[in-house]
Amino acid sequence: MKKHIPNALTCANLLSGCIGIVFAFKGDLTITAYAVLMSGIFDFFDGFSARILHVKSEIGKELDSLADMVSFGFLPGVVMFQLITQSNYTSAYLPYVAFLITIFSALRLAKFNLDTRQTEDFIGLNTPMNTLFIVSLPFIQNDYPEIIKSTFVLVGLTILMSWLLICEIKIFSLKFGSLTWQDNKVKYVFLIVSAALIAFMKFAAIPFVLILYIASSFLHFKNSDI
C-alpha cells in the first residue's frame, strides 16, 4: 500500500492543477492561485514521502513530470494569457505569446529528467517557483495596476521567465541532506525571510521571494565552492 502513497499525492497535484486551469479560464485568478499553492504542497510531499518510505520508482518520476507539466506548465501559461488579454493593448494574436511559458516549462522538465547535474539541485528556475511568481501577478495588480496592466511588462516577464526556466543558473533545492545550521544556513535564512514576507504581504510577496531565492542560491553555491 505504501508504494502508492507518493503517486496518489502526485495525482492530487495534477487534480489541483486541473481545477486551477478551469478557474483561470473563467477569469477567477484568485482561486487559481490557491489551487497552485495546493499543487505545490502535494508536489513537495510526493517526493518527500517517496524518500521517507523508500519507494522511489521510474513510473513515479514520469508521473511527477506529467503532473508538473499541467500544474506548473500549462496553468501559468493560461494565467499569463488572461493577463495579457486584459492588458492595455491587445490584438487577436498577442496573448498567445503567454504560452512560451508552457513551451519552456516542457523543455525545463524534459531537461531536468535527463540532466545528471540536477540530482540534488537545479540548473535553471524550477517550474513551481516560476508558477508561483506568475499567479502572484493578479494580486500585485491590485496595488500597481499601471504596471501589471502594461502589455509591454507582461510580454517582457513572459520572455524573462521563459529564459530563467532553461538558463544555466544554479538554484538550490529545498531538499536537506542534513538539518545542521552549518550546512544549510543560507537555506534556513531564505526560508525564514520568505515566511516573514509571505505572512506580511501574502501572494504579493512572491516576486521578492523569487529575487531572494536567486540571490540566496548564488551565495549558497559561492560558499560551497570556498
Note the pLDDT tens digit of each residue in 129-181: 999 999 999 999 887 778 788 899 999 999 999 999 999 999 988 776 556 66
Q: How far apart are CA 7 and CA 111, in angstroms?
A: 22
Task: Using DSSP, state whether 87 is helix, strand or coil.
Answer: coil
CA distance 78 to 145: 19
Report the Cα 18 to chain-centroid distance in Å: 16
d(CA 76, CA 130): 8
Radius of gyration of the chain (CA): 17
Give the chain's domains with CATH numbers. Answer: 2-225 (1.20.120.1760)
Instruction: Tell me the pTM.
Output: 0.90
The set of cell numbers assigned to 177 is 541532506
Q: Report the SS3 class of residue 84.
A: helix
Residues near 153 by beta carbon (within 8 Å), at least 6 away in sequence: 147
HSE on the CB side for 160, CA within 13 Å?
10
Residues of the chain with pLDDT under 50: 226
Q: Report pLDDT for 98.
A: 97
